[in-house]
Copies of this chain bind each other. A is one copy, B any other.
Amino acid sequence: MEELMPFELSIEFRERFQLAVQDNDDVFINESLSGVKPADISALLEEFDSYESKYVIDILSPDDRAEIINGLEPDTREKFLKLFSHEELTSVIVNLDSDDAVDLLNELPLVDREKVIAGLDNSEKEANILDLLRYDEDVAGGLMAKELIKANHNWTVVQCIEEIRRQAENVQKVYSVYVVNDHDILLGRVSLKRIILANDHTKIGDIYESDQISVETFVSEEEVAQLMRKYDLDAIPVVNVQGKLMGRITIDDIVDVITELAEEERNAMAGITEDVEEDDSVWMLTRARLPWLIVGVFGGFISAKFIGVFEEDLMRITAIAFFIPLIQATGGNVGIQSSSIVVQSLANPSVFSDNLFNRLFKVLLVAMLNGLVLSLMVYGFNIITGGTGDLATVVSLALFGVVIIASFLGTLTPLILDKFGFNPALASGPFITTLNDLLGLAVYFYTIHLIL
């Protein structure tokens, strides 16, 4: 085996390669990249600017070009493709699977998109791409590729193998052959293993499995991911409302969907508004972080004004101020925990979910238990460290109230966000913390005002 471990890039190699690009040292570039996998070349090109990358791509064999471009990060690719002529773009598109081609086309300005598609000259590719462009990116129709192998149920195994041979170039990973009737209605599938083991003249209709799970074009990417994960599928056929076979989604695309959803969730929880990485520019990183920080500062400023209302109480008993951080931190922590549990159950819906009333009742029980333990702890701390009994009582009471309110707020916010089509994980981010800060302070200061 030539190469057991993946291609390793050293910093020395990057510097040597950079020099080669500057000196137009085509021989070095070609030699050092020969035999390197397209995915590794994509990773290398991420390190260079668009002009340098274009120079490298133009030297390489056209066969790998499309795959390397497809492997670039979307934002790098978008910049990079600006340097391509329409003819070059068309030749890249021709060499991509229809789903990847559509993703790439969607990154182009509308006017370029049309010219590139026109360059496809009414081929089957053009028809496939035009079909796929109709779907949203985040539903089954937008994820599927048109490339697949299908066989009529009346065919024999030999005819089926002939079809595989005919399509071998177009369909890289076959997994299964989809079985359809004369009207292209999906009937089921035959695995390649079964085809290999079957007699040449067996009819496909006699060996296919009819209980294949499929999805309709409008099913959301989250649902497709859940189904493929639940049933351990490596590919899932996509059908239209009539049951006609439209395309298939392969597991590698779903792995990407799952990873992206997890990243979106992390960003939402951390209050980052764009998909940034550590090696993005200072400007991009700042832009992605400021919006939620400003929301937080704005919330903090309202808090300041709110506490100002209670200035007299504060002047009377300065010790009130000591417990502001405790109240606030606990409210924030409880809120994030609650919303995170809801986000988790939205991501993995159980077969039967309880009705809202039962759910909220349980939230109340958990909140009361948590609130009780924490309040007693704080009361104990306060008494042991020589605080006054009155203030200790007020702080514990307020803390209990904050835990209850933050639990409900944390539970309801993601449900409401989800209902209106927003990412529910936003509820575990700065938004919930800011809201909880305000409500927590309100509970605390009103309790003080009433009791002390």
Contacts and interface: CB of A to CB of B under 8 A. Distances in A.
Interface residues of A, number: 139
Contact of A258 (B6, B14, B255, B330): B255
B269 A428 contact: yes
Count of identical protomers in the assembly: 2
Interface in A176-224: 185-188, 191-193, 195-197, 210-214
B187 A1 contact: yes
A247 B21 CA distance: 41
A83 interface: no
A389 to B, nearest CB: 16
A122 B297 CA distance: 68
Contacts of A227: 6
A186 to B, nearest CB: 6
Contacts of A289: 334, 337, 366, 370
A79 interface: no
A393 interface: no
Interface in A264-283: 265-267, 269-272, 276-279, 282
A232 to B, nearest CB: 4
A250 to B, nearest CB: 8
A354 interface: yes
Interface string A323-350: 1111111101110110111111100101
A256 B231 CA distance: 12
B300 A323 contact: yes
A187 B2 CA distance: 8
A327 B300 contact: yes
Given A231-B39, A348-B277, A352-B47, A330 B296 contact: yes
A351 B277 contact: no
Contact of A252 (B39, B234, B271): B234
A55 interface: no
Contact of A228 (B255, B270, B293, B328): B255
A154 B262 CA distance: 45
A185 B1 CA distance: 9
Given A47-B351, A196-B196, A322 B334 contact: no
Interface in A1-58: 1-6, 9, 11, 14, 35, 37, 39, 43-44, 46-47
A307 to B, nearest CB: 5
Interface string A357-393: 0010010011001100110011001000100000000
A96 to B, nearest CB: 13
A228 B332 CA distance: 38
B341 A277 contact: yes
Given A255-B254, A300-B329, A304-B326, A370 B286 contact: yes
Query: Lowest 7 A-B CB distances belong to which pairs?
Result: A300-B326, A270-B340, A321-B321, A303-B325, A262-B262, A304-B322, A278-B345
22 contacts: A1-B212, A1-B214, A4-B213, A37-B213, A168-B193, A173-B234, A269-B336, A278-B342, A278-B350, A282-B365, A286-B369, A289-B366, A296-B329, A296-B330, A297-B377, A297-B399, A300-B323, A300-B329, A300-B330, A301-B378, A333-B430, A336-B430
Interface of A: 1-6, 9, 11, 14, 35, 37, 39, 43-44, 46-47, 161, 164-165, 168, 173-175, 185-188, 191-193, 195-197, 210-214, 227-234, 239, 243, 251-252, 254-256, 258-259, 262-263, 265-267, 269-272, 276-279, 282, 285-286, 289-290, 292-294, 296-297, 299-301, 303-305, 307-308, 311, 314-315, 318-330, 332-334, 336-337, 339-345, 348, 350-354, 359, 362, 365-366, 369-370, 373-374, 377-378, 381, 385, 399, 428, 430, 433-434, 437, 441
Given A6-B227, A303-B326, A336-B430, 20 more contacts: A3-B211, A6-B230, A14-B352, A39-B230, A161-B196, A168-B197, A196-B196, A229-B259, A233-B252, A262-B265, A266-B343, A277-B348, A279-B353, A289-B337, A292-B337, A293-B337, A296-B333, A297-B326, A301-B326, A329-B437
